[in-house]
Amino acid sequence: MSVREEQREKVVNLLAGHLLETGLSQTSLRQLASAAGVSDRMLLYYFPDKAAVLSAAIERVAASLAGALAELVPEGTTLPPHTLLAQLSRLTMREDMRPVFRVWVEIVAAARQEEPYTTLAATIIAGFRDWIVARLDMADGADRDATAMAILAFVDGLALVEICCGMDAAKGAANAVENLLNH
């Protein structure tokens, strides 16, 4: 690995941490550079432009989410919808996952109009959906994808509630939905 690639790698790790701490609000080139301990000039030496910088950092964050998912339910295992939903809710409410989901909501909001967020959001959510579909224990049918999206919607909604009303309200909502599903 060349010096340049090593530096790139280090910078991306620091930036992913920065995103988890501060979200998307501190993402000018100068702020990112400061968080990565380099000059903005160097950021644009390692990457072609700002969009590439952000994409690399966000992909790193998404990778940490993918890692957590892989641990949660191993490949090959399948679960009924309400069990899978419960597992994912619990993951979302984990303290160490909170910054990840907060950033995720910000990315979706930005995805409405601005690149590179649109592409990133579509990629990340597709990966998330495929993960669910592969672990969904239910009769084959056209509503397999739809069920996955429903689970995904609830999990993302929990993250949204957590931002507005705090972790306690979100945990309450997560419990309430389990009751709704079991009656």
Partner DNA sequence: GCTAGTCTGTAGCGAGTGCTACAGAATCTC
Partner DNA sequence: GAGATTCTGTAGCACTCGCTACAGACTAGC
| Binding track, positions 32-61, relative to DNA; x by CB under 7 A | ------xxxxx-xx---xxx----------
Binding span for DNA by CB under 7 A among 23-31, 99-107, 113-121, 166-174: 23-31
Q: Which does 135 bind (CB under 5 to 8 A by kind): a copy of itself, DNA, none?
A: none
Token pair 């950033």 in the structure block, residue: 103
Of 54, 20, 14, 49, the closest CA to residue 34 belongs to 14
Question: Residue 137, SS3?
Answer: coil
Backbone φ and ψ for 141, nearest 5 degrees, come out as 165, 175
The angle subtended at Cα 6 by Cα 4 and Cα 7, nearest 5°, is 65
Applying CB under 8 A, the residues found at the interface with a copy of itself are 22-25, 81-82, 102, 105-106, 108-114, 121-122, 125, 143, 145-147, 149-150, 152-158, 160-161, 163-165, 169-170, 172-177, 179-181
**What is the spatial distance between Cα 71 and Cα 127, in angstroms, rounded to a whole number?**
15
Q: Is residue 31 near DNA by the rule CB under 7 A?
A: yes
Decide whether 10 or 171 has the Cβ nearer to a copy of itself. 171
Q: Which residue has the tokens 């990457």?
A: 47
Q: Which residues bind DNA (CB under 7 A)?
A: 2-4, 7, 27-31, 38-42, 44-45, 49-51
